[in-house]
Structure 1
């Protein structure tokens, strides 16, 4: 089969920086031995790897309504649990699928390894269908490599029963949040305002305040995890920890779920998908929890961070990028299909026109009958769109988590964790040949 044209020159900004490592990215059709092809009858055949519940049913629905394109779905392990490694190995072996579920934070890493196909010519007309921050997450140097699927706008999950018992209202500022933390802990030494945050949950806290971690300067990456803005966020949470106001129960540990269920952990500062996590793991808290807008650094501000979210990425070697984009865009924008994904996977749409889905308008008994998605609908339009993920996020997150774990345990500080993660990230970037601005 005809090989695709490979472009290695003229790429600027983030793509140029990441491709310093990957060498090239596929510009369109063609793959030597990939499974995706066009049949003799002209019917496009593409393969899609992912893990989200409901994706297989969505593929079936698409195939019924699009007779000229056949999508084959293959379930793989979630990205960090082996899915990403499988995808990258398939790219190297020249037998990757056209499409793969890839988190926003990991997309630049795929670009760094030359594992993506530029689909700008097919995708650019659909830009306005998506929220700005989501579109930016799949765009590198004005080139599009994936369709945004879901987002993770953040809000404050809080135990209304605990707050009401102490005559507390949901805090609108981080200063009010700290005051609530002190009152909650004073009422019972086993009660805490929150548990520690790690990796992408912590990133969302920095994201809100504009404390960026990565950027570009000319032809080089900038790593700014140790900036003054990041020190402000770190100092705030360090202050809560130093006052003994943060639980030592790790997030997603059984101790955390127990604390959420019995009121010993009174809030979760988290993304929309945390609703499903809390409901599933802390069933005894049903009827006690509610959702409020994210506290702000200055009263009256409306700035929100994002935690999580994924895309349908077009991988290197895809022979049918136009058909691949047609399915990827459909998956993200079809009302019936995405409504099912809300029910089955608790995905929150990146597409603007889906924010009024019926599935997002129902009252939730767990949250006292509150229509919690109304809060996230407002938050989605307030997400700071300036955030940029780095090219080696798997390593960056691992190094950060190591430091944060020590900081929350009182063995170091959050500021130290950020500084160390920055130093190790810069070292690894240079080792891999990426240009880094001093």
Structure 2
């Protein structure tokens, strides 16, 4: 085991050291070598060192270098050094974080990390929380609590009796709702298409004046950080208008919620702390390893009622029992990495991470605009939408050429009918040098 883990560390260090000089997108030759893994299941055991060598030799070159500083697609952060090392330790510990009796350490670190998260995200101190896989499951968790609360208020026990015959729940979303939230609604039996869609402005913000009259059990889903523009729904206008309706307000803040950690950008979240639940990702702007989603629910009793589990052999101790707040029972100790990231960054370091990446986004937008390209969004956060004209084929060709160059990775999108290139700058590893190299590559291809 010692030899194997030391070799693993050596190979991992070599991989990380090479990120700054390798292509962000894997080469076609490397991808061809993925066929080396396609073989019948071996009949006999293989030396673990040989397994590791195969994995590194043919696996590492085929990865997308999203752990480096020039991956600007899908709002993907890297892994902070402390978070990565904590991930390794958590893997060695192999703790089941479902019950405190299975891992007092995991339960304790989750409790502490949750308290720290509520602090930096400026959420109510008595808010409940859950450590899940990503934004989809975070919204699922929070909306399960919403479903319980609204139907319990109507005299219906949805966990016991299901949705057959239950009072209907109206769900209100914006026209730019993220598909992960719709997926969560579908899994909850609330329907992906049974939603009421509110018109949005040219930045994707819900128009607060367009809300219908609310009657009966209702969930309103706001967006903190549009995945294309970075824009925020006007919560400070919407939530106060809903207070008399008893509607449940949920916030999809997969990356935008982290703006609260920055004194310079916290104003974007004005009014959001008055919501009933929030969903975000740790593996986006907090830069912890995959997977790491976070759900926050103001009403702890509703979250527990919606997601709790019991059996005579599931021992309950004096610590907070994680399995009572999440869809999963057995799961890995995600809170270890969250704790390590926050402990290493501190309040000032987290604010700097948010502000530095936002500055890079604004700088890139300014440089691209000076070069004659059209920026489609108001760069309020870390997202930049670049137009190469209205021809989708031209836009896709330029993006493909940029990707093939390997200097940086950018992605295509369609913004309110117009093809565009999207830049999402979220990684602690991004440097000024990365930004300059990437700008050079983008501008070179945009002129061809």
TM value normalised by structure 1: 0.29
